[in-house]
């Protein structure tokens, strides 16, 4: 009986470790997605600035 409980405890510990690893990977993915989102926002801002400049140039001519 004691051996079975030890085996179950070991399996639960292994599952807990795997879940922790998955959680870490998801956190890393979330961080990467946040970085991509920030980069896309910066690109969008730059494109808006270019569009504004082109509109201003068109009005000036």
Q: What is the pLDDT of residues 9-49, one digit of tens each?
A: 999 999 999 999 999 999 999 999 999 999 999 999 999 99
pLDDT recorded at residue 24 = 98
Full-prediction pTM beyond 0.85? Answer: no
Query: Domain extents for the chain?
Result: 21-60
For tokens 């979330």, the residue is 30
pLDDT recorded at residue 60 = 59
d(CA 14, CA 9): 9
d(CA 10, CA 21): 17
Instruction: Give me 10's structure tokens.
Output: 């070991």
């Amino acid at each position: 009986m004691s051996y079975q409980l030890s085996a179950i405890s070991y399996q639960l510990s292994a599952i807990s470790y795997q879940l922790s690893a998955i959680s870490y990977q998801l956190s890393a993915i979330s961080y990467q997605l946040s970085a991509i989102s920030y980069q896309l926002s910066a690109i969008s801002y730059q494109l808006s600035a270019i569009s504004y400049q082109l509109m201003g140039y068109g009005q000036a001519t």
